[in-house]
Amino acid sequence: MPVEEAMVETTEYRLVLVLPESRNVLAISDVDGYRLPSISIPQWARPAEKLQKAIHVAWKLNVLILDFFHGSPLCAVAEILVPGQPIGFKAVSLKQLLISELSEQQRAQIASILADASHASSPFSRVGWIDEAITWLEAETGRKLSSKSDIKQYNAGGAFALVRFRVENDGDYWLKATGEPNAHELSITTFLAKLCGSYLPELISSKPAWNAWLMSGEAASVTEIPTSPFQLFTLLEDVVECMAKLQMNTQGHNLDLLDAGAFDQGLQVFENHATELFDYLEEAMGLQTSTKAPRFEKKRIQELRTIFAGVCQRLEHLGICETIVHGDMNPGNILTGTGHCQFVDWSEAYLGHPLVTLQHLLLLNKVENSEIRDFTNLLLKRRYLDVWVGSCDPEAFDEGFVYMPVLAAASTLYGRGDWLNSPQRNDPRRQSYSRSLARHMDRAARKPELLEALCH
């Protein structure tokens, strides 16, 4: 009996493929007139990255996504980087397309992009912005782009961009730009690059008008966590050591970090907002409809609140200094290949307890054998402490290790904290994720070593 292929949910995009010289678009002729091509990509993937790849696979076109526009289906505008016109396509003006191909709003938005770059909604919606970026790159690095066909795109839309350039002799550089609500990432990245040196990619140059910066692409992100316990330990040992050294470099820079854009996650902040957080957890639990996981009653939420208050008090007593905390510690934000690890994507940069990031790193240890997993985590904690031992009380860190799973769950739940008083709190996905974090906190709170430590 044949095995059925797993159903992959996809999203369809109608494509406006722009010829930069003429500002015409590629269309398909049928009996009714000219239509736009369409393509589908997996849901929940980076749309710019997947569309760039899918368009090349389908029609051998090298493109750069300029922007996305809502509608049914969605619409993506892409600039053709290397001259080419696949068989079956014809270059036509926007006015020649069938009226039904685009909504009135989409047509007006696209006409603005095609007619005058100054009307574009962001610097990266303009036809030709990539040529300006290439000129900037070559001037700052003294190296020539190998080919436009080697440009790889990972993010687009609005004021956001993430592009990898390949230069002659196989060097790589990255351009990244962010808009609201992540416009602060340039300032915090710039500050950390100066303060923490080689634990971030080299920052080559910045362009304030675009809120963009160029980075060295010498290192590569971790695409897959090793399954071999030894290989996993080797990777995570380096990650833990480098993160500890990076965090140590940020000691004593609390105000500078906040001024640069880090969000305050100090213990006092958690204590001040504990009532709001746990009231929200109680509210989210009350809205649970799934029976796959148990729903906590109000009594258990209040017990967790009491335990959390005790954890915060004990951690304050331990006196471990605040440092930078990376709030999005996934493999893609860890880089290797330069002799030691580097870290990127600081939009979720917090000023808080350093052990929060250590706990998030330990969560990357997914070895199935619990004894091997626990032993590996013990070794990683020792390695982290080895870095700090010259400037801290080892006993304070040992006790802090007991509390950090509870604090790390609260850190992820709280995030920037702004969502607590906004419509975001009513998002069903946030409510579901919050229930999951409450269960993480509950498991950590049941550990005998935690309960024993709080009793003392």
pLDDT confidence bin for 153, thresholds 50/70/90: very high
User: Which pLDDT does position 439 carry in this prediction?
Assistant: 97
**CA neighbours closer than 13 Å in the CB half-sphere of residue 364:** 27
Residue pair 76/14 in contact by the 8 Å Cβ criterion: yes
pLDDT of res. 1: 40
> What are the tens digits of pLDDT across the range 334-373?
999 999 999 999 999 999 999 999 999 999 999 999 999 9
Model confidence band, residue 170 (pLDDT cutoffs 50, 70, 90) = confident
Q: Give the residue ranges of DSSP H helices in 415-447.
A: 428-445
Q: Decide if 10-121 and 129-218 have a common fold.
A: no
* Residue ranges in 208-297 assigned as alpha helix (H): 229-249, 254-260, 267-286
| pLDDT confidence of residue 3 | 42
DSSP 75: E
Is pLDDT at 5 greater than 50 in this prediction? no
Residue partners of 258: CB distance under 8 A and separation at least 6? 264, 351
Q: Which tokens go with 349?
A: 């940069």
Q: Specify the pLDDT at position 244.
A: 98
| 411: enclosing H helix or E strand | helix 394-414
Residues facing 172 on adjacent strands: 166
Q: Are strands 263-264 and 349-352 parallel, antiparallel or unpaired?
A: parallel
Alpha-carbon distance values, 422 to 10, 278, 322, 417 (Å): 30, 16, 28, 10
Domains of the chain, residue spans = 10-121, 129-218, 221-455
From the CB of residue 96, how many other CB atoms can be counted at a distance below 10 Å? 14
Q: How many CA atoms lie within 13 A of 418 on its CB side?
A: 5
| Predicted pLDDT at 72 | 86
Average pLDDT, stretch 392-405? 95
Residue 129 pLDDT exceeds 80: yes
Q: Which of 37-41, 137-141, 391-395 has the lowest mean pLDDT?
A: 391-395
Encoding tokens for residue 110?
């696209």
Q: What is the pLDDT of residue 4?
A: 42
Mean pLDDT over residues 221-245, rounded?
96
* Average pLDDT value over all residues in the chain: 94
2-6, 188-192, 253-257, 327-331: least confidently modelled range: 2-6
Tell me if the bond preceding 181 is cis, omega within 30° of 0.
Answer: yes
Q: What is the pLDDT of residue 2?
A: 43
**pLDDT exceeds 90 at position 85:** no
Higher pLDDT, 313 or 291: 313
The CATH number, out of the four listed (3.90.79.10, 3.40.50.12780, 3.40.50.1980, 3.40.1410.10), of the domain defined by the range 10-121: 3.90.79.10
User: What is the rounded distance in angstroms from the CA atom of residue 213 to the CA atom of residue 204?
Assistant: 7
Pick 221-455's CATH classification: 3.30.2000.10, 1.10.3470.10, 3.20.10.10, 3.90.1200.10. Answer: 3.90.1200.10
Residue type, 434: S
**Dist CA 331 CA 60 (whole Å):** 31
How many CB atoms lie under 10 A from the CB of residue 61? Answer: 22
Superfamily name and number for 129-218: Phosphorylase Kinase; domain 1 (3.30.200.20)
**Confidence category of residue 73, pLDDT binned at 50, 70, 90:** confident
Strands 342-343 and 334-336: antiparallel
392: confidence class by pLDDT, cuts 50, 70, 90: confident
Q: How far is CA 330 from the centre of its chain?
A: 8
Identify the residue with better confidence: 182 or 4.
182
- Span of 162-166, 259-263, 337-341 with lowest mean pLDDT: 337-341
The DSSP code for 19 is -
Predicted pLDDT at 119: 52
Residue 91, pLDDT above cutoff 90: yes
Q: Residues of the chain with pLDDT > 90: what percent?
A: 90
Q: What is the pLDDT of residue 197?
A: 85
Q: Is the pLDDT of residue 329 over 70?
A: yes
- 3-state SS assignment for residue 44: coil
- Give the per-residue pLDDT at 390: 85
